[in-house]
Amino acid sequence: MSAETPVCQLLERQSTDYRGWLWVAPPRDRWLEEEGGRLLSADRAALSAWRERGGEASSPFAADELAPEGVMLFWPKAHAQGEWWLLWLCSRLAPGTPLHVVGENQGGIKRVLKVLAALGLGCRKVDSARRCSLFASRLDRVDIDPNAAWTTFEAEGLALVSHPGVFGHGKLDDGTRLLLAQLDSCLPRQGAVLDMGCGDGILAAWLSRRGLSITAVDVNGFAVEATRRTLAANDLAGEVCHSDVYAGLAAQRFAAIVSNPPFHQERALDYGPAGRLIAGAPERLEPGGQLILVANAFLPYPDLLERAFGGFEILADDRRYRVYRAVKRRGSS
């Protein structure tokens, strides 16, 4: 199996034996999955896929003991998240552990040199090709707490806790604002509500404050942690679950599902999770239960809603975003 992504194509031509290494936040690439090694990722779908192939995988929010022969950090699109990974690795793994950092040149990998220097970690360039670069260093203790990256901001009278790499980092999304403006008039006063793709927990916290019983789900471990912190910061209750759409959820039915669904995977358009959210919603709703979601007006959700529910209505349309509601017919199972 040859490497599929440019970063892995660069790694494939190295002479280093990476088999005992820890792969940190890599892209999906079957070559990598066959190389062996352990995965460290906040992405629930990546963790599940790695484990299904028999590999060992850890989330940075679990307390697993890690003692790899070396660490390969795949530099993420969000630079601040890359810095967080570096600080986390330095705080959790043995000083002296070999560290390689790889990334695409257009994704800002060259800034890594400055970041490593600022942390007092030496660095040398190992290779570059496929518009990617690979640097080598070693982990050491540094005097900065990775938890310092958590920030709090105010929106809708709530304290929202966020982190680099969590959607909308530090501000309320315009689509979410339009969705919130519709929810008061169409949601019941009590019952169980699912917030699918919870991000920093704005919808979950808003709904919990209104007295609803909340389950919030996100595939991104940073978002799960952010939502837990948001609920706690506002003294609100709710279940928060690290799950790829419905995959990790108990078989529970909801009076409503609300969502500002994702439509990007890294830089590419990807309707996969939103498609699974809509197609699976009738099975997760009580009879008479409703799916309410906001989306950019150009996204092809009307067809998906029609197919899953046999109809839908548009609650709001400001030309940029639309809020859709689809109701599960009473009498259907």
- List residues near ligand SAM by CB under 6 A: 45, 167-168, 173, 176, 197-199, 202-203, 217-220, 223, 244-245, 260, 262, 273
State the nearest-atom distance from the C-beta of 46 to ligand SAM, in Å. Answer: 11
State the nearest-atom distance from the C-beta of 240 to ligand SAM, in Å. Answer: 12
Structure token digits, residue 320: 């940029």
Report the residue number, 137 or 176, with the smaller CB distance to ligand SAM.
176
State the nearest-atom distance from the C-beta of 118 to ligand SAM, in Å. Answer: 29
Report the residue number, 197 or 289, with the smaller CB distance to ligand SAM.
197
Residue 141: which residues within 8 A CB-CB, separation 6 or more? 90, 91, 95
State the nearest-atom distance from the C-beta of 249 to ligand SAM, in Å. Answer: 10
State the nearest-atom distance from the C-beta of 171 to ligand SAM, in Å. Answer: 9
State the nearest-atom distance from the C-beta of 189 to ligand SAM, in Å. Answer: 22
**Rounded Cα distance, 177 and 90, in Å:** 38
